[in-house]
Chain A
Amino acid sequence: MDIFCEKQSDALIFVVRGRLDGSTAPALQEQLISQLDTASTIIIDCSALDYMASAGLRVLLLATKQCKKAGRPFGICSLKDEVLEVFKLSGFIAIIETFNSREQALAKLASPA
């Protein structure tokens, strides 16, 4: 799994690539949680994420809760079918905001630059 951070408008975008499972989720947790308060909006771009297990959902749930507490918009975009399936199975689709594209996520969550 690789993680890249990009700044777009006032949002910090984490691009997660590869497999998010019990062995790789701790690295995402470390990067994501430590940087949550460095931007006014947080978006996770999953366009290159091939696979997610419950360990990955755990990190996303943690981040969602922390952002909610801080009043910081948080969303996930561009989920591939396999990952979307896991979101549906877990019921997370109802508690974490998901968007079809990064543009949609930015339009909804970020303030105009």
Chain B
Amino acid sequence: MNPTSTLTLTNDLSELARLAQWLTTFGQGQGIEEKTIHFLNLALDELVTNIIHYAYPDGQTHSFSLELRRVDDRVEAELIDDGIPFNPLEAPEPDLDADLDSRRIGGLGIHFVRQTMDEVSYRFERGQNRLRLVKRCTGA
């Protein structure tokens, strides 16, 4: 079994650049093709941005973690935070056919997660939000 890599993040938007760098390094180390890492980055970016914006309304600095593991032909990721309980998968789907005037941005991030990942699941356990993603590697 491949070892799990863990990235500890804090609730500051500057962490998004570190997340991207870490994912790139992980992908290169595991020989995962760039397209797969791009989609993982896109999905995690949206979820991490949500956590940074909404999980900790007290305005204090908090840490949360991202675990990543290569298993056979796929990458498994789990985001774990102890912020307010929130299941992002309950967000309504955006109306992708809406015209310009009625088009809204809300829900687009989660839409990306659903579209780009092969499996997405959420559970709240022992005071922690745990969002698990699975992405199959293409061609790697």
Residue tally, chain A, CB below 8 Å to B = 22
Minimum distance in angstroms from A68 CB to a CB of chain B: 6
List chain A residues, Cβ under 8 A from B14.
23
Q: Judging by beta carbons under 8 Å apart, are B38 and A53 in contact?
A: no
Cα distance, A27 to B54, chains bound together (Å):
21
Cα distance, A85 to B43, chains bound together (Å):
13
Cα distance, A107 to B92, chains bound together (Å):
40
- A19 proximal to B (CB < 8 A): yes
Query: From DSSP, what is the main secondary structure of chain A's interface residues?
Result: helix
Minimum distance in angstroms from A29 CB to a CB of chain B: 12
List chain A residues, Cβ under 8 A from B105.
54, 57-58, 61
Given the interface contacts A57-B108, A89-B112, does A23 sit within 8 Å of B17 by beta carbon? Answer: yes
Q: Judging by beta carbons under 8 Å apart, are B49 and A95 in contact?
A: no
For window 1-51 of A, CB contacts with B under 8 Å fall at 19, 21-23, 51
Q: Judging by beta carbons under 8 Å apart, are B20 and A51 in contact?
A: yes
- B76 proximal to A (CB < 8 A): no
Cα distance, A90 to B106, chains bound together (Å):
11
- B99 proximal to A (CB < 8 A): yes
Closest A-B pairs by Cβ, 10 of them: A91-B96, A23-B13, A22-B49, A54-B108, A58-B105, A54-B109, A95-B100, A53-B45, A23-B16, A21-B16
Contact with B42, one of A53, A58, A95 (Cβ below 8 angstroms): A53
Contact with A90, one of B16, B17, B53, B108 (Cβ below 8 angstroms): B108
List chain B residues, Cβ under 8 A from A64.
100
Cα distance, A57 to B112, chains bound together (Å):
12
